[in-house]
Structure 1
Amino acid sequence: MPPAASGLTIGERVAMARKVAGLDQHALAQRASYSTSMVRAVEQGREPASPAFVAAVAKALNIEIQELYGQPYRDLLDDDGGVPGLAELRTLFAEGSYIQAVEPGPVGEIRNELELVRQMRQDDKARQAIARTPILLRQIRGMEESAISGEDREEALRLLAQAFANIGLMVYGFGWMTLATQAVDRMETAAENAGALDLLARAANYRSLLLLSYAAYDVGESLVDRSLNLLDQGPDTESILAVRGSAHLRGAILCARNSNESRAREHIAEARAIGAKIGRTPSTYDTSFGPGNVEIHDVAVSLEVGDPGRAARDGSALRIPADVHSTRAGHHWQDVARAWVLSGEHSKALKALNAARRVAPQQTRYHPQVHETARAIALAERRKSDSIANFTAWLGLKI
């Protein structure tokens, strides 16, 4: 059984890290701004650890959040064939500004390849997409170096920024936070060199996503404001509207985690108005923004502000539009499952987990919150059903 997946629970890791830091439960609770009873419940496995709780505890203990999640699940990934291209990607990042370029093919082919790896990520095929990314990045770098005109160089830099954005989202999902941070850094540099305010706005939005994991909500909110301010300098095209709507959705989650429900709901209202104006999920800018994603985030806000009953009911009733990406739909059902667990409805939680597995199996298998939710269901059922036993076995969990 894979040790990363079947070993310690998040609660057990919290307890170990707390003891290493020389703190009792009360002291950790004070540092993390949670109640002692919550810390005790998580450590004992009676309460699933929320992302906000894990981020707060990691910050309080001055450790990486992945130490508490046990990410990345290396042995589980190895069982599935590993992540081809990851070693080459690490090498490419280590090369810094001296990335070894390769001769690029036609510009149209490079654009098509970038769109393909984006689509693979959205379709829950991140492992396969990562394998194709290092050579793509080297080709785009070659395109930049061989550019004759300023216009050609600007296009190469825009493609480079978008490619780094895509890989950043993928490695973030697997728990490689250092690589994700480096990817956003590279995206910002390429966007700045291209003079692309729209891509700088997206980079600010992506960095605010990383800051969720560090409980740096105030800084994250300021980056959302920066993103919106940059976008105000451009025209209200569909693409820009989608980026603006995406920034409001990020702001909603940041505010919800920062105990500012009223502002979170304001962000949702702004995003809903933009979604109604667009009427669909546009493919440009790779934002995943659209009316369906707005409602998914509305459910997530309810969960983040401590209203799991509302999140479970609204989330279960939501009819997700067909144009919502698989990974977004999968994340929604993962949230709904956690909401049902917190509401004491474990059979409904398992149903939601299976819905997540159907639409986004790769994401579901490697997501730490899924592991935590599945453990909670299994531990709550004194007589474990075949269904939860099969699900935990699929995750590589030993209960």
Structure 2
Amino acid sequence: MPAHTDGGVGRRIAYYRSVTRPKLTQQQLADAACVALGTIRKIERGERGVTDATLEAIADALGIDPGRLRTDRGAAHTRVHDALPALSAAIATYDVPEDGPVRPLQDLRTAVADAVQWRVAARYTRIVRDLPDLLTELTRAYHAAPDEDRAELAGLLVGAYRSADAVAYKFGARDLSARLVELMRWAAPEAADPTLTASVAYVRTETFFAARTHTAGLRALERALDTAPAPTAAPTIAARGALHMRAAVIAGRAHDTSAADHHLAEAHTLAGQVSEDVYCGTAFGPDSMRIHEVSVAVSLGDDHVGRALDVASEWKPPKNLPAERRSAFYIELARAQLWTGLADDAFESLKVARHIAPQHTREHPWVREDAATLRRLKRADSETLTHFAEWCAAT
């Protein structure tokens, strides 16, 4: 694996170690990352290089994306794209997995829970590193499992497929993403969990976004709502609320104001009945609803865009929300600001999104489009904006 030898990597490690809460000593960082103390000291002093594996271990220990420590802006992007064939290979044998070892069920639960956390934190390099082997192991476990374990393993497969799909969709591998969605739809009924089936319907909407068939996507979500479990407890309330939340956004893309308002109102009512959390892999609650209010306003466009600015003037996403969702708020806000002539504010919002979730921000098509527009407008410091546009490959 390549070694990063620029002294800036060590300086960034030392910086993030000093600003974590609680602050970490070099020894504590070494222990958390399973790296020798002497290695940490030499890296921070710029006396030795650091491999990708070690860098990712240190980033994990610091609780940040590895991209914040690297000097090569294109490294994470290239690594993810290079790893996509391994994901394709892993799912090609979903029904005929090769023989091999299988960890205990508890270990598989933990592995999938970790993958879910990487997804909501937009840790895509970590997903592509570990998910191919995990998917192969899960399918092997599912087909060999006794009847009493098959339902749970099917649910774990759905969670792992969804994490893999996040990478495929965000990085433009739409055929792979569609295949992963179909595998989720295959596995979900086996799990016999209606909330899981609802979450798969939520994810499936990606295929309608990608094809720009928004009216059909709205119809599919409304059918999913018809069969969703009654909202009697937090998980089922969140499952139904997330479907309404998603339906509001795709109705906005379809320019169906009436449907968007209806689903947004339903989602707001349900969000008021639960605390903000990640339910069945999807963040839902009052804060997520505010973010989707902005998304719906931007989707509807025209006279509705002002609502996005109104929300942002009163509220900002708290840090306990998943990084992917927080960065999406600022990406959507940047578009609203750009459309209303607030070019400088739009660039500031894009920079905030990048700080929160660099990989998610870099791969978002709106970021590229808006950065390219800002360059044409020349409304920000040219050098800073040029660096940003090069980073996200804006044309």
Give the TM-score normalised by the residue count of structure 1: 0.75
Structure 1: how far apart are the matches of 2:313 and 2:127? 31
Displacement of 1:256 after TM fit?
0.9
SS in structure 2 of the partner of residue 308 of structure 1: helix
User: Within the alignment, does 1:304 sit opposite 2:299 as a pair?
Assistant: yes
Residue 98 of structure 1: aligned partner: 96
Displacement of 1:107 after TM fit?
0.9
SS in structure 2 of the partner of residue 104 of structure 1: coil
Q: 1:309 to 1:284 in 2, by over 3 A?
A: closer
The 5 A counterparts of 1:7-22 are none
Displacement of 1:362 after TM fit?
1.2
Letter in 2 for 1:144: Y
SS in structure 2 of the partner of residue 97 of structure 1: coil
Query: What CA deviation, in whole Å up to 9, does each residue of 1:296-344 have, x standing for no partner?
Result: 1111111111133332342343221333110011011011111111111
Residue 274 of structure 2: aligned partner: 278
How many residues get paired?
Answer: 321
Residue 332 of structure 2: aligned partner: 335
Structure 2: how far apart are the matches of 1:80 and 1:366? 8
Gaps of 5+ in 2: 1-71
Residue 229 of structure 1: aligned partner: 226
Residue 87 of structure 1: aligned partner: 85
Displacement of 1:235 after TM fit?
6.0
Displacement of 1:347 after TM fit?
0.5
Displacement of 1:209 after TM fit?
2.6
Which structure exhibits the higher relative contact order, with contacts defined as CA atoms closer than 8 Å and separated by 6 or more residues? 1
Give the TM-score normalised by the residue count of structure 2: 0.76
Structure 1: how far apart are the matches of 2:327 and 2:309? 15
Structure 2: how far apart are the matches of 1:88 and 1:102? 17
Residue 120 of structure 1: aligned partner: 118
Letter in 1 for 2:140: G
The answer to whether the Cα contact below 8 Å between 1:272 and 1:291 also exists between their aligned partners in 2 is: yes
Letter in 1 for 2:107: E
Displacement of 1:292 after TM fit?
0.8
SS in structure 2 of the partner of residue 277 of structure 1: coil
Of 388, 391, 394 in structure 2, the residue corresponding to residue 391 of structure 1 is 388
SS in structure 1 of the partner of residue 190 of structure 2: helix
Aligned residues with identical type, % of pairs: 27
Q: 1:397 to 1:165 in 2, by over 3 A?
A: closer
Of 238, 241, 246 in structure 2, the residue corresponding to residue 250 of structure 1 is 246
Structure 1: how far apart are the matches of 2:292 and 2:143? 41
Gaps of 5+ in 1: 1-74
Q: 1:388 to 1:316 in 2, by over 3 A?
A: farther
Displacement of 1:379 after TM fit?
0.6
Letter in 2 for 1:136: L
Of 237, 242, 246 in structure 2, the residue corresponding to residue 241 of structure 1 is 237
Structure 1: how far apart are the matches of 2:161 and 2:310? 37
Structure 1: how far apart are the matches of 2:285 and 2:362? 26
Letter in 2 for 1:295: R
The answer to whether the Cα contact below 8 Å between 2:94 and 2:139 also exists between their aligned partners in 1 is: no
Structure 1: how far apart are the matches of 2:389 and 2:313? 22
